[in-house]
Structure 1
Amino acid sequence: MPITTLLFSFQGRIGRQTYWIWNCCYYAMILGFVVGVNRLFPGLASLILPVFLLLILIPDLAITAKRWHDRDKNSWWLLLNIPLVIGRMSVPVGANALTANEPMLYETIISVAALMCGCWILIECGFMKGTQGDNRFGKEPV
């Protein structure tokens, strides 16, 4: 599968190996970006990180959609990513308030929802086998 199709198309299927490779690269990119931005622009990190996260959101969703397709589930399952995206976008804002004693109620709700959805996605997309043979989303990944 061409890299542009892999990263920007919501069609087709991928296996667990491709999914794991993407996620390792995804989180390595985020970590590298955070470290680099904090060193180069320490005061602007909380403003620049959400922009970067938005730039890599489409490839992340495209990869995850393909993995759902491999499990013979449609792209509506991407809705489980909403709490994760909200949580990731609020981290830079919350990181500035590290001196607060207790998280606000909405922060706790978002965190719990993100944890539950993240665990579901991890189990389904990361650990469970895809549909054997062809399914309605395409041929079985090699």
Structure 2
Amino acid sequence: MSIKELLFSFQGRIGRKTYWAWNIVYYISILGFGVGINKLFSAFSYIILPVFLLILLIPDLAITTKRWHDRNKSIYWLALNIPLIIGRIATPMTNPDAQAASTPQMLIASVSLICGVWILVECGFLKGTAGQNHYGPEPE
């Protein structure tokens, strides 16, 4: 599978190794970008970081879809990512001077945690379907 197919196609399957490799790159990129933007443009970091996260959204969803496919589950399981996306985009946009989280923020954080753990277990730790499934051949 080419890099273009891996990052932008919602077809096919990938194994846990590829999924973990992507997530390591993804989170290191976010951390590095966030630190760099905060140092260079601290006044605007709460606006710039969500834009960066939106750029990474399609590749992240494409890779997660392929992992769901490896578990023989449809693209509709991406619905578990909705609270994570809202949390990732909304959190950096909150007022940096705010002392305490509001009730909606706490609710989003709680639902995000539950969905994130579910995705982590299903996509990160559980083995995919052996052999051919509805979404293609078993990844190498």
Equivalent residue runs for 1:85-100 within 5 Å? 85-94=85-94, 96-100=96-100
Q: CA deviation at 1:136?
A: 0.6
Which 5+ residue runs of structure 2 have no aligned equivalent? none
Instruction: Mark the runs of 5 or more structure 1 residues left unpaired by the alignment.
Output: none
Residue aligning to 2:56? 56
Which amino acid in structure 2 is aligned with residue 65 of structure 1? T
Partner of 1:84: 84
CA distance 1:24–1:99, change in 2 (3 Å): same
Q: How does 1:1-142 map to 2 (within 5 A)?
A: 1-94=1-94, 96-100=96-100, 103-142=101-140
Distance (whole Å) between structure 2 residues aligned to residue 35 and residue 130 of structure 1: 35
Q: TM-score, normalised by structure 1?
A: 0.96
Question: Which runs of structure 1 show a deviation greater than 3 angstroms over 4 or more consecutive aligned residues?
Answer: none
RMSD: 0.9
Measure the CA separation in 1 of the matches of 2:10 and 2:91: 27
Whether the aligned pair in 1 keeps the contact of 2:46 and 2:94 (CA below 8 Å) is no
Give the CA deviation at 1:95. Answer: 5.8
- Which residue identity is paired with 1:124? E
Task: Work out the CA distance in 2 between the residues paired with 1:56 and 1:46.
Answer: 16
Residue type at the aligned position of 2:113 = L
**Does the C-alpha gap of structure 1 residues 25 and 95 become closer, same or farther in structure 2, counting only changes over 3 Å?**
farther
- The sequence identity of aligned pairs, in percent, is 59
AA partner of residue 90 (structure 1): A
